[in-house]
Amino acid sequence: MANAPPFRAAPSQCAVTAAKLRHPMLIVNLLGPPEALIGGRPVQVDTRKAIALLAYLVVEKTASRDTLASLLWAESSEERARATLRRTLSSLRAAAGADLIDADRNRVSLIGGIESDLDTLYAELEATSGHDHDPHDVCSLCIPHLRRATTIYRGSFLQGFAVRSSPEFEDWVRGMAESTRLRVGDAFHRLATALAANGEYPASISAVNRWIELDNLHEPAHRLLMMLHAWAGDRPGAMAAYRNWVAILDHELGVAPLEETTELYEAILDEDLPPAPGMRRRVRAEKSPLRNAPTDLIDRVTELEELYEALDPVDEAGQLLAVTGAPWMGKTRLLDEVAAEATDRGRLVLVGRAFRMEQTLPYGVATQVLRSAVPHLAEADAQIPAWALAEIGRLLPELGAGPTEPVPDRFGELRVLEAIHRVMSGLAAVRPLLIVLDDLQWIDPGSSAVFSYLARRLPGVSMLVVVAARTGEDLLPAAAEMIANADRTIMIGPLTTPQLIPLVDDDEDAAQRLREETGGVPLLVAEALSPEDGLSLPTPGMARYMESRLSEVGDLARQILTATPVCSGRRVVAARRRWSRRWRNWSRRACSGSCPSPMPSVSPWMPWNGSPTSRHRW
């Protein structure tokens, strides 16, 4: 015990306060290139390892001499490393002030008045966690703290700073830099989301742009920028953000964007984005009627009659109907009509819709259908076995405690499929059942397996399943099987001139012009015939339609089609100037068989991007 080092008490609060009063504040900035200021002047030290030592102590507050020696002088012997540490501490005391560093034979600590941008950043982020919400959520009180935190961050931790022969220190710096980058990235994301929820899209986009400037290879930041532009109604800006990210990846890494980013870009083109963010507010939910269509259904008498005929209940005769057609042909509108009619006839109607951005969500569509059935389960309590209800509890936690173990193998998955079948059959035994599935081309694999399983077991069940899918889209095998084996398939095409004549007071010329200008697309026809404007062409909807359809062709075809008028049907490119042979060949190759059909003809004043001020005169 006689040789043991003497005990040294930790510095008291009074000693720390006295040190602050005797010496000016030391300011240490570690985000970006490191800098240390005292009294507004840079701290002058003779080695880079003195700055490294100061940075380590600012973050860790205290450390043993052995730790510091091995961290910065790993290549030296223990005796020499400790001697070098003593000289470095002496240099640091002389430059920053002796009262700021407390050292004994074993430990080194910072005790004086020190202000660090890293500590300030962490304090601002910590202040957002005391607002009675999840740490990753955001409220209006969080926004000022997040603004200050993102302003403080001027670069990665010790950016561009390195010391020789100190691998452990380099590892520590990399760990700190990555940890800080992730926390600041979350702060930028929360700030941008909160500003967007308040409708402050310019400020939100500005925040994400600064995030990208600081971390330009962070793909989630680029995806968020794309969504913010799209939510703000600036689809060209969203497309430009995507192309900028593609260029950055190609220049920096020579790789393509992740599939998730490409899918988001396609969703923006299809106007199939998830809803914009919103602040958490107390709201009162009110039921809205199912049938709330924006326009009267134009024609489609034959198709509706076929669907209505299938609604007539036939004992123990389940049916599968498929509705197919190109985008914008009115498939969803037909499904809304048949669902409303089925409700009027007393059928139980369950609806599910697939979304492009949720194709990887397991059992997403099946869960929609099951959740809409929950209010009716009590009616069929006697028809549904308890084990089946327990199994679907895996997908619907609101039903109570279901099995907690995962589905272990194919037999476990079969049990889930059979449970859903028994639930649907039990509901159909009490009341004829209609299941409506829209946008089958985007259905997830789990849900496609569920409804394919149901479709093969329709005989003997009073159940009608109506599915809708786009033509020309790749389908999962189970979804393709449902379309191929449907009892009846209804093809939805463009409206023809004879169908349009009654809509324009039997004026055949007006009907022909309407057909040419709208391509027979029902929504565009309804827009052109709106009561406010009468027969007004072109319409704003035509621009949205053209952009959506042009997104489906190749780059060369898109360049040609957006630079020249296109005649529907013949797909002939007409130009006012004399073209070279190469230009004509490009145009012929782009337009021959590559234009999506139906394609409206281009009016001389076609507003390509939906803006009344952005038009091309041909």
pLDDT tens-digit profile of 528-572? 776 554 445 555 556 666 666 666 555 555 555 555 544 444 333
Q: How many residues does the chain have?
A: 618
Averaged pLDDT for residues 428-434 = 90
Q: Pick the more confident residue, 402 or 31.
A: 31
Residue 388 within a domain: yes
Q: Are residues 126 and 243 in the same domain?
A: yes
d(CA 330, CA 493): 9
Query: What six digits make up the tokens of 528?
Result: 């052109």
Averaged pLDDT for residues 464-477 = 90
pLDDT of residue 611 exceeding 60: no
Q: Are residues 389 and 437 in the same domain?
A: yes
Please report the DSSP string for 521-542 in residue order. Answer: -HHHHHHHT-TTTSS-SS-HHH
Residue 169 within a domain: no
Q: Pick the more confident residue, 279 or 161.
A: 161
Helix/strand/coil percentages in the chain, nearest 5: 50, 10, 40
Residue 564 within a domain: yes
d(CA 388, CA 397): 14
pLDDT of residue 371 exceeding 60: yes
Residue 603 within a domain: no
Highest average pLDDT, of 11-15, 127-131, 456-460, comes from 456-460
Q: Are residues 110 and 220 in the same domain?
A: no
Q: Pick the more confident residue, 462 or 571.
A: 462
pLDDT at 324: 92
What pTM value is reported for the model? 0.46
pLDDT at 93: 85
d(CA 411, CA 406): 12
pLDDT of residue 295 exceeding 60: no
Contacts of residues 160-163 at CB distance under 8 Å and 24 or more positions apart, as own/partner, are 160/33, 161/33, 161/34, 161/48, 161/51, 161/52, 163/48, 163/49, 163/52, 163/72
**Whether the bond into 598 is cis, omega within 30 of 0:** yes
pLDDT at 7: 30
Query: What six digits make up the tokens of 374?
Result: 């929950």
Averaged pLDDT for residues 165-175 = 91
Evaluate whether 313 touches 432 at the Cβ level (below 8 Å).
Answer: yes
Domain interval for residue 511? 497-591
DSSP H helices in 1-45:
13-22
**The CATH number of the domain where 250 resides is what?**
1.25.40.10
Q: Are residues 312 and 384 in the same domain?
A: yes
Query: What six digits make up the tokens of 430?
Result: 């009490």
Highest average pLDDT, of 76-90, 515-529, 551-565, comes from 76-90
Q: Are residues 101 and 138 in the same domain?
A: no
Q: Are residues 488 and 501 in the same domain?
A: no
Q: Pick the more confident residue, 332 or 292.
A: 332
Q: Are residues 510 and 482 in the same domain?
A: no
pLDDT of residue 603 exceeding 50: no
For residue 222, count other CB atoms closer than 10 A to its CB: 23
Stretch (H or E) spanning 89: helix 78-96
d(CA 437, CA 483): 12
Q: Are residues 236 and 249 in the same domain?
A: yes
pLDDT at 350: 94
Residue 377 within a domain: yes
d(CA 587, CA 288): 50
Contacts of residues 15-22 at CB distance under 8 Å and 24 or more positions apart, as own/partner, are 15/111, 16/111, 16/112, 19/99, 19/100, 19/111, 19/112, 19/113, 20/112, 20/113, 22/99
pLDDT at 218: 92
pLDDT category at 13 given cuts 50, 70, 90 is very low
Query: What six digits make up the tokens of 364?
Result: 């997403």
Distant-in-sequence, close-in-space partners of 565: CB < 8 Å, separation ≥ 6: 573, 574, 601, 602, 604, 606, 618
DSSP state of 218: -
**What's phi and psi for 283, nearest 5 deg?**
-130, 160
Averaged pLDDT for residues 371-389 = 88
Q: Are residues 458 and 331 in the same domain?
A: yes
Residue 174 within a domain: no
Among residues 117, 141, 162, which one ends one of the domains? 117
Q: Print the SS3 string covering 132-159.
A: CCCCCCCCCCHHHHHHHHHHHCCCCECC
Query: What six digits make up the tokens of 141?
Result: 């009180």
Residue 225 within a domain: yes
**What's phi and psi for 355, nearest 5 deg?**
-130, 145
Among residues 457, 492, 527, which one ends one of the domains? 492
Averaged pLDDT for residues 204-233 = 92
Query: What six digits make up the tokens of 385?
Result: 């076995």
- Percent of the chain exceeding pLDDT 90 equals 32
Residue 7 within a domain: no
d(CA 4, CA 515): 99
Least reliable range by pLDDT among 26-40, 179-193, 267-281, 490-504: 267-281
Query: What six digits make up the tokens of 510?
Result: 């007006």
pLDDT at 505: 81
Averaged pLDDT for residues 222-229 = 94
Averaged pLDDT for residues 423-439 = 92
Number of domains into which the chain is organized: 4
Residue type (1 letter), 363: Y
Q: Pick the more confident residue, 470 or 402.
A: 470
Q: Pick the more confident residue, 214 or 24.
A: 214
d(CA 69, CA 89): 11
pLDDT of residue 152 exceeding 80: yes
DSSP state of 317: B
pLDDT at 229: 93
Computed over every residue of the chain, the mean pLDDT equals 78
Q: Are residues 506 and 479 in the same domain?
A: no
pLDDT at 302: 79
pLDDT at 390: 87
Among residues 224, 249, 269, which one ends one of the domains? 269
Would you give the distance in Å from CA 116 to the centre of its chain? Answer: 35
Q: Are residues 136 and 108 in the same domain?
A: no
């076609």: which residue's tokens? 606
Q: Are residues 242 and 365 in the same domain?
A: no
**The CATH number of the domain where 433 resides is what?**
3.40.50.300
**The CATH number of the domain where 38 resides is what?**
1.10.10.10
